[in-house]
Amino acid sequence: MRLPAGGIRRELLIMKSSERQLGMTHMNMQHDMKGMDHTQMAPADRGMDSQKHQDMSNMDMSDMDMDMGDGHMMHMGNLKRKFWVSLILTIPVILMSPMMGMTLPFQWVFPGSDWIVAILGTVLFFYGGMPFFSGAKAELQMKRPAMMTLIAMGVGVAYIYSIYAVIANNLFHVTPTVNNFFWELSTLIVIMLLGHWIEMNAVMNAGSAVDALGKLLPQEAHVVDDQGNLTDIKLSDLQVGQTVAIRAGEQIPADATILSGGSDVNESLVTGESKAVRKGTGDTVIGGSVNGTGTLTAKVTGTGDSGYLAQVMALIKDAKNEKSKSENLADRVAGWLFYAALFVGILAFIVWLTVANLAVALPVAVAVFVIACPHALGLAVPLVVSRSTALAAQNGLLIRNRTAMEQVNQLKFALMDKTGTLTMGEFKVNHLVSLDDSHTADEILGLMASLEKGSSHPLATGILTAAKAKAVSLTAAEETHQETGLGQFGTVAGTTYGVVSVNYLDQHHLTYDHDQFKAFAAEGNSISYLVAGDQVLGLVAQGDQIKPAAAKLVASLKKQGITPVMLTGDNQETANKVAASVGIEDVQARLLPEDKERLVQEYQGKGKVLFIGDGVNDAPSLARADIGMAIGSGTDVAIESADIILVSSDPADVIQFLDLARAMHRKMTENLWWGAGYNLIAIPLAAGVLAPIGFMLDPMVGAIVMSLSTIIVAINAMTLKIKKVA
């Protein structure tokens, strides 16, 4: 899949106004796209088809599922219903049970009211508290008590103690009367359910822009049969290989190759290019783009589930399905709080039982367990990550691996490829030279173009463009293959040729004019040679343009204390010239893929490494680096190996990513302090450390403070912004 410049960023921005009408689709579906070619994948092996996109785009958010942590799921509609039912049941509990041991003027306490409250509280406990018990069970089965275990412990202890209080007061008539915690229990469950509802809404709203892409595709396609008859079918029934008719003004239903007709196709919603692109026989079109005034007949190469848009959505969903290290840290903190609360609660119970009596010790222990509920801690990281992922997508940054964002503060080196990363990757042939008397310059160009036909490498594109401009005839090449980092090889008219780099000549000890090479390279050209066996037949020297934002990127990296390094397979002279133009001092040239990967490992020995690249030869380095960042216009294998994808291929977006990652880290740290800091203070207070001066923290007061902490965490996460690079 090739990600066109700027398109998805623009589309996400266009769709931003409709985000709240859409829900996150298949939040827990994992799309493994490693090694897949979208022209070869079977429908059963891929993500969602277009009809699913359409159906899910119209789905109410109440129908969505959400992962509540550590694998335990909660259905959005069920949670919403549980909250409202629990709220309704809580109202009579509030009216009939004492709050913090006090009967308020508006409360209605009468003989038998305790039993009614106990019945309502029991329903609340088992119905409203079920999500927390299921989550706690999953955590304990994995021997990792965390947030759900803490919540379940607090709610469970409050319920058991309250049932004990009702029985003790009404059957055994103990004195003094034992205060129950049904008021606290019911409000605590409602607060917790409301908190999760808020979390799920925030997460889904944060990511809904991704699913807006699915609405680009039409609902039907006009299929042409062998007799030329048209049949309208649902897009979900469209198959690769079928022929479709695309009328003027219609959206193109799927990725396809034009068989006949011509038209100006508007790809702005997909590629970001405002100018319509002329398309004719043999050209490819992307599903979701809009046909102009002409009529097209095209063969489908990628359907709704295997086409370009589906793969883009799969990339984004991959990132959302991964759990970051900070989230794991939050779980570990919650686990520590669980053990701390358990220890402090038991210790407080023993101490108060010793210095007072059971009637005092039990409420204190209950207070510790109830107050330890870590809801704010549970929201601290997920909300920030969801917000940052959505902001990144809306600004042309596809985050495939969220853990990468957490390593930005430790970065020491930024290793980057030259072609396509710092330069435009749009080569123009400046010199065409025949080095063999039996071939003219145009024949050299024709042979090279014949070998490069079908290649997407920037140098190959430059050769093909020059051949087309000169109207050079091409001969079909057979048995073509690429040797990464060396060149393209194949057989033309029975002779085996290769379009190779100077590395190949040196490795095979082939004779060439070194002075000529240096002269062309000094001009900033990348040089390719045509060889046949041991004979060098000719060369092309192609020039590239440096991207406008490249120098700004290098300057920004240096300002942040990150050392920029250029790694390229190009010749040393050209690499030096480009590096000097953008301000890079450390330059490594004439590298093979394994050389780049080796250098990444060497630099990792000195600190964290960011690698930026776009080609097949960059894929090992992208996978090896602490943060691999692929230029969006790069090759499929590079994109699949990266953690971050720059959709617009603009170096300025690297700066934007670094700023966003640092802002995300700050917000996560702040939220973790809010979430964990509350518990660190509240648990000792609930245990009675200030009892000697007459202060005891009531569970309900703790629950109210806890809910305020949750709201603060949510608001803090939503205030995360992305800084625009001028």
- Write the pLDDT tens digit of every residue in 631-642: 765 545 556 667
Give the C-alpha distances (Å, rounded to integers) separating 567 from 378, 610, 625, 643, 672.
Answer: 42, 12, 13, 19, 39
The DSSP letter of residue 14 is: H
CA distance 453 to 645: 27
Q: Which residue has the higher pLDDT, 41 or 246?
A: 246
Tell me what pLDDT residue 587 has: 94
Rg (CA), the chain: 32
Model pTM score: 0.57
CATH of 402-423+547-642, one of 3.30.2080.10, 2.60.420.10, 3.40.50.10860, 3.40.50.1000: 3.40.50.1000
Give the C-alpha distances (Å, rounded to integers) separating 638 from 121, 330, 477, 669, 683.
Answer: 57, 32, 26, 32, 50
Which residues have CB under 8 Å from 723's CB, separation 6+? 656, 659, 660, 663
The DSSP letter of residue 16 is: G
Question: Three-state DSSP class for 537?
Answer: strand
Beta bridge partners of 99: 102
Which of 100-109, 524-533, 590-599 has the largest mean confidence? 524-533
- Confidence band, pLDDT 50/70/90 cuts, at residue 62: very low
**pLDDT > 60? residue 74:** no
Q: Which residue has the higher pLDDT, 312 or 200?
A: 200
Residues noted as catalytic: 417
Fold of 428-543: Calcium-transporting ATPase, cytoplasmic domain N (3.40.1110)
Mean pLDDT of the chain: 76
Q: What six digits make up the tokens of 512? A: 């060439």
Burial of 17 (0-12, 13-18, 19+ CB in 10 A): exposed
Tell me what pLDDT residue 262 has: 84
pLDDT in tens, 556-609: 999 999 999 999 887 888 889 889 989 999 999 988 777 888 999 999 999 999
Q: Domain map of the chain by residue range?
A: 75-210+321-386+665-718, 402-423+547-642, 428-543
Q: Which residue has the higher pLDDT, 90 or 395?
A: 90
- Range with the lowest mean pLDDT among 141-145, 149-153, 305-309, 323-327? 323-327
Burial of 654 (0-12, 13-18, 19+ CB in 10 A): buried
- Confidence band, pLDDT 50/70/90 cuts, at residue 24: very low
- Contacts by 622-631, CB closer than 8 A, 24 or more apart: 624/597, 624/600, 625/415, 625/600, 626/404, 626/407, 626/410, 626/411, 627/404, 627/407, 627/408, 627/411, 628/404, 629/654, 629/657, 631/420, 631/421
Handedness of CA 84, 85, 89, 90 (dihedral sign): negative
Tell me what pLDDT residue 591 has: 85
660-677 burial, b at 16+ Cβ within 10 Å, e below that, comes to bbebbbebbebbbebbbe
Tell me what pLDDT residue 204 has: 52
Question: Three-state DSSP class for 719?
Answer: coil
**Quick one: average pLDDT of 408-424?**
89
**pLDDT > 70? residue 318:** no
CA distance 530 to 140: 66
Which of 177-181, 278-282, 393-397 has the largest mean confidence? 278-282
Q: What six digits make up the tokens of 129? A: 């508290």
Tell me what pLDDT residue 707 has: 65
Handedness of CA 78, 84, 85, 86 (dihedral sign): positive
Q: End-to-end alpha-carbon separation of the chain, Å? A: 30
Question: Three-state DSSP class for 413?
Answer: strand
- Confidence band, pLDDT 50/70/90 cuts, at residue 369: confident
Tell me what pLDDT residue 641 has: 66
Tell me whether the CATH fold assigned to 402-423+547-642 matches the one assigned to 428-543: no
**Quick one: average pLDDT of 140-153?**
82
Tell me what pLDDT residue 13 has: 30
Task: Give rounded-to-5 percent helix, strand, coil for the chain.
Answer: 50, 15, 30
- Range with the lowest mean pLDDT among 11-15, 362-366, 476-480, 671-675? 11-15
Tell which residue, 245, 292, 248, 247, has the closest CA to residue 266.
Answer: 292
pLDDT in tens, 238-269: 888 999 999 888 888 888 899 998 888 876 55
